[in-house]
């Protein structure tokens, strides 16, 4: 059997690292029935945390990249919840995106599109989801973006 989601990720140049460990007193995900609730994943890449405030020290385009990294971490958590078999993922149900931004910044939906667009590109129709995109005056560790999600698995 071909690992369709992992193959598609590889085509996009994405390899899922081990799921990030929690930074405080919580678990990275909780499964209830066929739903997996993944805790907020913060923007980070191989160089560390992606920090900044949209509308001040970061552009919308930089925020889009930060949101994409959150989506990759979300998938790593889902893969862990599925015992290493990402193809057990049925669909992305909902994302809640938080953007560290100034009071007058209004492009939160564009920033969170970095995650949404990536998930649809990587997962096809299984990546289509409901969503919220909101502003936050600050986020943990000064990161630019944090996203949590609900996923259906088989």
Rounded Cα gap, residues 69 and 83, in angstroms: 21
Give per-residue pLDDT as tens, 30-87: 999 999 999 999 999 999 999 999 999 999 999 999 999 999 999 999 999 999 999 9
The reported pLDDT for the residue numbered 2 is 55
**Is the model's pLDDT at 1 over the cut of 50?**
no
Dist. CA 98–CA 94, nearest whole Å: 13
Stretch 113-138: mean pLDDT: 97
pLDDT exceeds cutoff 50 at 20: yes
Mean pLDDT score across all residues of the chain:
95
Average pLDDT of the residues in 109-125: 98
pLDDT greater at residue 19 or residue 89: 89
State the pLDDT at residue 3.
79
Q: How confident is the model at residue 23 (pLDDT cuts 50, 70, 90)?
A: confident
> CA–CA separation, 145 vs 135, rounded Å?
9
DSSP result, 93-111: EEEEEEEEB-TT---HHHH
């Amino acid at each position: 059997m071909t690992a369709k989601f992992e193959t598609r990720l590889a085509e996009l140049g994405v390899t899922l690292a081990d799921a990030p460990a929690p930074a405080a007193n919580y678990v990275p995900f909780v499964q209830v029935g066929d739903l997996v609730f993944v805790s907020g994943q913060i923007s980070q890449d191989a160089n560390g945390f992606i920090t900044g405030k949209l509308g001040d020290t970061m552009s919308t385009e930089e925020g889009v990249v930060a949101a994409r990294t959150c989506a990759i971490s979300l998938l790593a958590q889902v893969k862990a919840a599925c015992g290493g078999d990402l193809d057990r993922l049925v669909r992305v149900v909902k994302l809640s995106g938080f953007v560290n931004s100034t009071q007058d910044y209004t492009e939160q939906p564009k920033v969170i599109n970095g995650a949404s667009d990536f998930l649809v590109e990587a997962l096809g129709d299984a990546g289509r989801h409901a969503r919220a995109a909101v502003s936050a005056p600050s986020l943990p560790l000064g990161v630019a973006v944090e996203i949590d999600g609900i996923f259906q698995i088989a």
